[in-house]
């Protein structure tokens, strides 16, 4: 179980936020869930955010804006980009701007938790069971 790591979850779909929040709370994380880019930027003023899990495309803005803000104001935070409309170009752009991982929707709670609990030296394993697509930002940072 994590040491009460604080996670910010951002998605314009409130149900997605609720599901991810449920997975993470059960795993022992403290979770802030928001549905707009503006709410995310406001939440990022809080101290101690270890992880940001953000949707890429939202009506209120772009997850890349959240990534850029987090990289500037919370450089220690690890950013996971999730999207239902991912492409290799988007994935590469996210990693070039400092994303830690990229998840294609739909994905399982197990896939997400594997990213949050992975060992930095473990090797990537590619797609997970159930069709989840996980891509680490650094080849040496795969899932166990």
Contact 42, 8 (CB under 8 A): no
Residue 119's pLDDT band, with cuts at 50, 70 and 90, is low
Contact 50, 7 (CB under 8 A): yes
Residue 31: C-alpha distances to residues 26, 92, 101, 132 (Å)? 10, 27, 18, 22
Residue 125's pLDDT band, with cuts at 50, 70 and 90, is very low
Mean pLDDT of all residues in 59-79:
92
Residue 65, judged by CB atoms within 10 A of its CB (0-12, 13-18, 19+), counts as: middle
Per-residue pLDDT, 123? 34
Q: What's the CATH class of domain 6-136?
A: alpha beta
For the cut 50, the answer to whether the pLDDT of residue 13 exceeds it is yes
Q: For a pLDDT cut of 70, what percent of the chain falls above it?
A: 80
Per-residue pLDDT, 68? 94
Is-cis flag, bond preceding 69, omega within 30? no
Tokens of 75: 């450089």
Mean pLDDT of all residues in 23-34:
96
Per-residue pLDDT, 2? 59
Per-residue pLDDT, 11? 96
Contact 56, 94 (CB under 8 A): yes
Per-residue pLDDT, 60? 86
What does the mean pLDDT of the chain come to? 82
User: 87-101 burial by CB neighbour count: b if 16+ within 10 A, else e?
Assistant: eeebbebbbeebbbb
């Amino acid at each position: 179980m994590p040491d009460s790591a604080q996670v910010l979850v951002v998605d314009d779909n409130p149900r997605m936020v609720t599901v991810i929040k449920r997975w993470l709370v059960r795993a022992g994380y403290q979770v802030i869930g928001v549905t707009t880019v503006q709410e995310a930027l406001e939440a990022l003023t809080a101290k101690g955010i270890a992880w940001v899990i953000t949707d890429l495309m939202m009506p209120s803005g772009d997850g890349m804006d959240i990534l850029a803000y987090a990289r500037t104001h919370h450089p220690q935070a690890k950013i996971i980009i999730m999207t239902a409309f991912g492409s290799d170009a988007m994935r590469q752009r996210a990693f070039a701007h400092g994303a830690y991982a990229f998840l294609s929707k739909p994905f399982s709670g197990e896939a997400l938790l594997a990213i949050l609990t992975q060992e930095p030296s473990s090797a990537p394993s590619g797609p997970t069971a159930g069709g989840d697509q996980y891509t680490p930002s650094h080849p040496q940072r795969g899932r166990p």
